[in-house]
Amino acid sequence: MASITKRGTSWFVQIRRKGFRPRYRSFASRSDAQQWARIEESAMDNGLGRVDTGRKSDPTIAELLRKYSRQVASKNKGAETEQLRLAKMSEAPFAFLTASSITSASIADYRNERLKVVKPATVRRELGMLRRVIEVARKDWGSPIRGNPVAQISFPPAKDARDRRLRGDEFERLLSAIERGRNPLIKPLVLFALETGLRRGEMLRLQWRDIDIEVRWALIRNTKNGSDRTIPLSKAAVAILDGLDMSRCAPFPLSGNALRQCWTRACERAEIKDLRFHDLRHEAISRLFELGLTVPEVALISGHRDARMLFRYTHLAPLAVRERLDRLAQN
């Protein structure tokens, strides 16, 4: 008997019968879903699509996603974020398909449904991850997948680089909202992010043993580009660190998920929309340029190897540029 359920704006059909591969598909209307289910069940009644029970193992895509999460993603930088994304994808309709029955059409259906609720950039990341999972399953695990169905569909177009900065009184409202929260580490973490331009993961992985308060520098290990770097610390950054508990191993002993939840709640309390924690990095690097630092000097702090990537973060305020021009004219 087919199971037909509504998921979001789509109707999802699931047909399971002993001796046959599971069959899944989503439709825009219930009537289309019912018609497809009747056709498929009629074919099963006539013995079409019956599988050999002695065939090679044919795991579901959900099983492959979970295996990839355990064996591959757990060892990557940003493992927590990757594993959360993989867990979410394992609940999608296509994840119930077996490796041998996954098609580009089922992935395209997923893409189209996701674009109704999340931004194109999110869908691109999810599809990219799914493509990597299938490649590993095909080449390393011997899964019976012909080609890579994700490579056969078009990805949502990438939009221009994000240029969100703090506006008006958002900084004051944000700090006020954070102070009303329960976690005392969020405020110094936000202030430290604005002083250093460090990535979220770099700050959360930072250890006291890698910081020299007297000399005012910090060693940032295991960075995004794979190498360590040493950054100078401003007096304000050192003052923030001085106010933290040095008896622990790390200045900011937080998990990425805990920070994410605190940040979301603070933005809601402050009634600030479309502000991500990573936008603080945009803000910090832009401020460094507004202070007059050169590209090499900013790159030393930010860790960018490609100047073109660095320019994506430099959204200078016209007022700050005007004031700098005035100062240069006076010299």
Cα 170 to chain centroid, rounded: 24
**24, 68, 110, 313: the active-site residue:** 313
**67, 199, 282, 287: the active-site residue:** 199
* Tokens 């250890």 found at: 207
How far is the CA of 241 from the CAs of 192, 235, 245, in angstroms? 8, 10, 8
- Rounded to whole angstroms, the Cα distance separating 97 from 63 reads 10
Q: Are 180 and 92 in contact (CB under 8 A)?
A: no
Question: Comparing C-alpha atoms, which of 229, 241, 228 is closest to residue 189?
Answer: 241
Instruction: Please state, as a whole number, how many other Cβ atoms lie within 10 Å of the Cβ of residue 45.
Output: 9
| Known active-site residue 68 | no
**278, 305, 322, 327: the active-site residue:** 278
Q: DSSP H helical segments within 26-78, as ranges?
A: 30-45, 61-71
Residues 6+ apart with CB under 8 A from 215: none
Q: Are 97 and 60 in contact (CB under 8 A)?
A: yes
CA contacts within 13 A on the Cβ side of 282 = 17
| Known active-site residue 110 | no
- Rounded to whole angstroms, the Cα distance separating 292 from 305 reads 20
For residue 6, the cross-strand partners are 11
Residues 6+ apart with CB under 8 A from 128: 155
| Known active-site residue 304 | yes
| Known active-site residue 265 | no
**23, 25, 111, 281: the active-site residue:** 281
| Known active-site residue 199 | yes
**165, 216, 224, 312: the active-site residue:** 224
Residue 146 backbone zone (phi > 0: left; psi -120 to 50: alpha; other: beta): beta
Output the CA torsion sign for 207, 211, 217, 219.
Answer: negative
Q: Active-site residues: which are they? A: 199, 224, 278, 281, 304, 313
